[in-house]
Amino acid sequence: MTTLLGRRRIIPAAVDVDTKSLTESNVHNNNHHHQVAGKNSHHQHRLARQRSFRKDIGHVATETYLITRLTFTLLQYLGIGYRWITRFLALACYAMLLMPGFLQVAFCYFFSSKVKRSIVYGDQPRNRLDLYLPTDIHKPMPVMIFVTGGAWIIGYKAWGSLLGLQLAERDIIVACIDYRNFPQGTISDMVNDTSQGISFVINNIANYGGDPNRIYLMGQSAGAHISSCALLDQAFKESGKGDNVSWSISQIKAYFGLSGGYNLLDLVDHFDSRGLYRSIFLSIMEGEHSLKNFSPEIRIQDPRIKDSIPLFPPIILFHGTDDYSIPTVASERFASALREAGARAELILCDGKSHTDLFIQDPLRGGKDDLFDYAVALIHSDDKEALAKDDIAPPRRRLVPEILLKFARRISPF
């Protein structure tokens, strides 16, 4: 059961031809023609499959090279630090424990015809996005834009593949936006990339079967921070006179923030104690003087965006009560600041959930998932046909044994 506390919820852990006129020669020639045509068609189809397979393999190699290169660049920048090394080793063990599920998701990501990878939305190296399409697009479908987390350093669009695949099964198109990470870019680059990606989806998703009037936005962890900054930036643009904008915050039906941090001033020391050293964090955020500018909790109180507040979509913040990477109070205070500014905000606390439970372990576990069910129900709230299909939809498949999930939770560096 879900307990309602005002606008706060706590989710407990739980053409006909006369053949007689043909001569034998004509029959023979026609049969021969069809046989040749059939062989040619089969040959062309086989070549197409081979080209597609080679393309997929090439894409895997390109993506692997990108991740590896960025990892070594990051290692050179970070240097050696005890806390960082221990968390890196914990991350490696965490990934190994969940590998049975990750491999299944990766296979679908690289080889499913319903996943459109690396669609270009801008002119920067990582201005790419992935689209996850439902099997049957018989009418314009709702769209979820997802911005992945990764401590502003290891974020990558493929991290949203599990969410994308599972929502696509419920007839929701998912667009996972990639953006420049540090040290390839700093926070303003990340926010600009994300805003440009949102604009691309809003203005082009109809070409892929999406409904431009039913677009939702979700961010997780650092992605929640970046996407909320993009919303605030857009609000400032729309509050200015004569500013040209390519999208509007009013075009977002609802915003979901998962385990995000929204006041950087409160998080600098906390992150430092967990291995994201203060010097690195301030470099990502372009210096200590910029922390307020990239803190949505503070910026929402700026009187200059007062006229844009009514344009804001409903904002739903999810946070686990056992989240040690970003404390629960981060979402609590942001929700309060939003309400004080006049925005519609709801806080949903998930009892006993860690930073990665909501986004990784629970989806890999399969079955019922309060966050997933809540999001799907909200997105389909004005579509009776979709709601009826949701009622009879089979439970999500388990991808990882429970014992591995429990070990992974214990060793998780997040």
Q: CA angle, corner 58, sides to 56 and 63, nearest 5?
A: 95
What would the mean pLDDT of 149-175 be, rounded to a whole number?
A: 95
Q: What's the CA angle centered on 201, arms 399 and 245, to 5 degrees?
A: 145
Of the candidates 134, 167, 60, 133, the one whose C-alpha atom is nearest the C-alpha of residue 103 is 60
Residue 146 domain-assigned (yes or no): yes
Q: Write the pLDDT tens digit of every residue in 113-152.
A: 999 999 999 998 899 999 999 998 989 999 999 999 999 9
Cα 355 to Cα 308: distance, rounded to the nearest angstrom: 31
162: CB partners within 8 A, 6+ apart: 101, 105, 360, 363, 364
Residue 350 — φ and ψ, nearest 5°?
Answer: -105, 110
Establish if 33 belongs to a structural domain. Answer: no
**Sign of the torsion formed by the C-alpha atoms of 217, 220, 226 and 232:** positive
Residue 347 within a domain:
yes
- Residue 178 resides in a domain: yes
Residues in the chain, total: 414
pLDDT at 1 over 80: no
Domain count for the chain: 1
Query: How much of the chain exceeds pLDDT 70, in percent?
Result: 79
> What domain range is 202 assigned to?
98-411
DSSP 152-173: TTS--GGGGHHHHHHHHTTT-E
- Where residue 217 sits, what CATH number does that domain have? 3.40.50.1820
Report pLDDT digits (tens) over 38-80.
545 555 555 555 555 566 566 667 666 766 666 665 555 555 5
User: Residue 255, SS3?
Assistant: strand
Q: What is the pLDDT of residue 50?
A: 53
Picking from 84-98, 178-192, 277-291, 399-413, which range would have the lowest pLDDT averaged per residue? Answer: 84-98
243-267 per-position pLDDT tens digit: 678 899 999 999 999 999 999 999 9
Within a domain: residue 157?
Answer: yes
pLDDT, mean of residues 192-206? 97
Mean pLDDT confidence for 324-331: 96
Residues annotated catalytic, as ranges: 221, 323, 355
Q: What does the mean pLDDT of the chain come to?
A: 85
Report the predicted TM-score, pTM, of the whole model to 2 decimal places.
0.84
DSSP 133: -
SS3 117: strand
Query: Which DSSP string corresponds to 338-399?
Result: HHHHT--EEEEEETT--TTIIIIIHHHH-B--HHHHHHHHHHTTT-HHHHHHHHHPPPBPP-
The answer to whether residue 167 sits within a structural domain is: yes
Residue 131 burial class via C-beta count within 10 angstroms: exposed 0-12, middle 13-18, buried 19 and up: buried
Say how far apart CA 248 and CA 195 lie, in whole Å.
10
Determine if the peptide bond prior to 363 is cis (ω within 30°). Answer: no
Residue 23: pLDDT band (50, 70, 90) is very low
Q: Look at residue 25 and tell me if it is in a domain.
A: no
Residue 278 lies in a domain: yes
